[in-house]
Structure 1
Amino acid sequence: MPQTIYRCTGLVFATAIVWAGLWAVGLSAAALFAALVVAAALAIKGLAPGRIPRPLGMLAQGILAVSIGFMIDTDTLAALGSSWLPVVGVSVVTLVMSVGAGSLLALHKDVDALTGPLSMIAGGAQGLVAVARELGGDERIVAVVQYVRVGLIIVTMPLVATVLFGAGSSAAVHAADAGSPWYVDLLVVAGCIAVGIGFAKVVRMPAPATLGPLIASGALELSGWIDTVSAPTILLPIAFVLIGWQAGLAFTPASVRAVGRVLPWAVLLIVVVGVLCALMGLLLTHLTGISLLEGYLATTPGGLSAVLAVSAASGANVTFVAAVQVVRLVIMLFAAPFGAKAFVALRSRRARKAEREKVPV
């Protein structure tokens, strides 16, 4: 018991130190990166305290899902106007391209047929990492590939937006709406998680800790009953840390070698998907009449906070860009669990059929 306490304390302190360093240099999702790296390093050295308890993992999924659900408000959806059909169409095409790239990744001997698509789905990296194990994928490969994708996007997007699409700078500042008291936010978040998970389990949804709270919070936001509620600021970093620990503590020396072998192939596919998404941005521009810059930013495959920052700094239509990104994010997070469930069911049926064919009559 004392050894476990010492290891838990070391994990917490090391994560806090690395988190502070990454935050100081302005890295996006610094909490998750820090937790993932520290937990993986300790796990490989045999100094990890053990896996994250499942209830804590579900709590992290729920917090993240509620935060996303609160983005689905009437103002955001209204920004789409008559462009909603092209936006949904482009999002679905992006999903198909991502799954296709994931299937190519799965041709690698170290990646299975479910882990490949989960690793390459363009959007919702934190959510996909959080539910990868629950869906039957290898969360270690999913985590690394997803965050390599996010990192590449964050590094290259401002450069591409400036050089190719002429993004400038804007001093526009938007006043934040007054929010509700923190304890009201906390109670609403807790209620959405509890009710959402309960509902999802009753109707047997895949990934209930993600889809249930997402539906509950999205429905509450769209109802307009509590317009000023948002997830308390401290909750999301805590969820990121738990998700990072969950993936990082599963690493072994063998899995690190496997990830190293997969990465070059994965980076190539990430670049291909990024180029295809940029072409989708051109198509969206043609269909909706938005600018080339807005089309590019709206269809960039991930890095939501960085996308919105560049949009605001360049004077682009931030509301429209955010609406497209949120629509795609929600589509990805819903498609992944249901797609994984269908894939597993199909694989099981094929296995049973093959087994029956082996039995002599």
Structure 2
Amino acid sequence: MSSARRTAAGWLAVLTGSALATALLWAVGAPTPALFGPLLAGLVWALTSPVTLVLPSLAARSGQAVLGATIGAVVTAETLRSLGADVVPIVLVVVASLGLSLAAGWALALRRDVDLPTGVFAMIAGGASGVVAVSRELGADERVVAVVQYLRVLLILMVMPLVAVALYGGSAGGGAAVTAGTDLPGDLLFVVLAVGGGLALTRWVRVPAAGLLLPLTVAVVIAATGVLGTVSVPAWLQWPAYAVIGVQVGLRFTRASLRSIAAMLPAVVGLIVALVLACAGLGGLLVLTTDVDPLTAYLATTPGGLFAVLATALDSDADAAYVLALQVVRLLVILLLMPFLGRFLARRRAP
């Protein structure tokens, strides 16, 4: 069989495996199955096949751009207005969350098999899909970042509903009400403007992770101004973007990298638990300094799982708009600071 045919057969196998893995993960309620299914398929191929598959750069950039538009669509004027008079406490909570993430990443980087950029981006609290999408571009090992980020999301999704119900009297969110109703023509126009405009800007604006951040910026402007009304990226466009990012990460795994990641899992779990508890403590401080109720404060400061957190808030007596506002502000701060953080950490990379 020729090299081209082997490559084509490889991509067909990865696509088939991605679809099957995504369906299975979706059935069991795993977080972000559209990303993790293709990641697993790419990982299995990388570990078992002698044929090397490399994702085209255009596909990778398009996946990042759609992801940026997806994140930017949740930043509405109503979301920002819901911050109200609590801007100062919220900013302090966001800064403290980032500081806790940096401390946890530094602690992880004390291991000899983890450098500082990888440790920090693996432990940064929030925006898992965006962080994974651009971590390699910013000097981190995206394989470690992907595993640690989604392990954190998985642990949060397992623990958060129990805490919300047992301690605060909330209910586990089903997620049915997370996505607001929008019209398809408006959504498609939004995607064209955000993705197309953002990618066009990458020709003139040279910043790290531009493929994600510039479409994100255009999307935020459109969504926050309300010029197109309420907008979102249709799910059938989100799924291929997540799949592209997942496959790209999965195909870079090796047996050695997998063994290294497995060896660090006990330390990672301990740091994630410490980070979750510390962020819950920030929620307690928010209760003491504002009029926010304990359930709202807990959900607003939970380090990750944005849509599951919002679903729980919508199904409970929590202030869903407040939860979304704080989570979105933290997400935007993290993503916008990532290029500068990557440069700063690169100068301190151990030889």
TM-score, structure 2 length as denominator?
0.93
Q: Identity percentage over the alignment?
A: 40
In 1, distance between residues paired with 2:163 and 2:206?
43
2:28 pairs with one of 19, 25, 48: 25
Are 1:75 and 2:78 an aligned pair?
A: yes
Contact 1:201 1:208 in 2 (8 A): no
Q: What is residue 311 of structure 1 aligned with on the other side?
A: 313
In 2, distance between residues paired with 1:173 and 1:243?
25
Contact 2:161 2:173 in 1 (8 A): no
Q: What is residue 145 of structure 2 aligned with on the other side?
A: 142
Contact 1:298 1:322 in 2 (8 A): yes
In 1, distance between residues paired with 2:140 and 2:175?
43
TM superposition shift of 1:172: 12
AA in 1 matched with 2:290: T
Contact 1:79 1:319 in 2 (8 A): yes
1:106 pairs with one of 105, 109, 125: 109
Encode CA deviations 1:260-289: one digit per residue, 9 max, x unaligned.
112111111111100000000011111221
In 2, distance between residues paired with 1:180 and 1:112?
45
Secondary structure at 1:133's aligned position in 2? coil
Q: What is residue 273 of structure 2 aligned with on the other side?
A: 271
Encode CA deviations 1:284-341: one digit per residue, 9 max, x unaligned.
1112211111111000000111111211222211111111111111111112222102
Structure 2 unmatched runs, 5+ = none
1:343 pairs with one of 319, 329, 345: 345
Runs (4+) of structure 1 exceeding 6 A deviation are 169-176
Q: What is residue 158 of structure 2 aligned with on the other side?
A: 155
TM superposition shift of 1:213: 0.7
Secondary structure at 1:312's aligned position in 2? helix
AA in 1 matched with 2:304: G
1:282 pairs with one of 278, 284, 293: 284
Cα distance change of structure 1 residues 272 and 173 upon mapping to structure 2, 3 Å threshold = closer
Q: What is residue 326 of structure 1 aligned with on the other side?
A: 328
Larger Rg, first or second structure (1 or 2): 1
TM superposition shift of 1:173: 8.8
In 2, distance between residues paired with 1:150 and 1:56?
26
1:195 pairs with one of 190, 194, 197: 197
Are 1:56 and 2:56 an aligned pair?
A: no
Which stretch of the first structure deviates more once superposed, 292-301 or 304-313?
304-313
1:36 pairs with one of 39, 47, 52: 39
Cα distance change of structure 1 residues 173 and 2 upon mapping to structure 2, 3 Å threshold = closer
AA in 2 matched with 1:108: R
Contact 1:15 1:38 in 2 (8 A): yes
TM superposition shift of 1:21: 1.3
Cα distance change of structure 1 residues 3 and 26 upon mapping to structure 2, 3 Å threshold = same
AA in 2 matched with 1:204: R
Secondary structure at 2:136's aligned position in 1? helix
Contact 2:142 2:249 in 1 (8 A): yes
Q: What is residue 252 of structure 1 aligned with on the other side?
A: 254
2:208 pairs with one of 203, 206, 219: 206
In 2, distance between residues paired with 1:207 and 1:70?
19
AA in 2 matched with 1:114: P
Q: What is residue 219 of structure 2 aligned with on the other side?
A: 217
Contact 1:150 1:302 in 2 (8 A): yes
Cα distance change of structure 1 residues 10 and 168 upon mapping to structure 2, 3 Å threshold = closer
Secondary structure at 2:137's aligned position in 1? helix
In 1, distance between residues paired with 2:306 and 2:174?
20
In 2, distance between residues paired with 1:255 and 1:129?
16
AA in 2 matched with 1:63: V
TM superposition shift of 1:204: 2.1
Q: What is residue 98 of structure 2 aligned with on the other side?
A: 95
AA in 2 matched with 1:191: L
AA in 2 matched with 1:339: L
TM superposition shift of 1:124: 0.4
Contact 1:172 1:315 in 2 (8 A): no
1:15 pairs with one of 15, 18, 31: 18
Structure 1 unmatched runs, 5+ = 352-361
In 2, distance between residues paired with 1:151 and 1:13?
25
Which stretch of the first structure deviates more once superposed, 335-344 or 290-299?
335-344
In 2, distance between residues paired with 1:20 and 1:165?
33
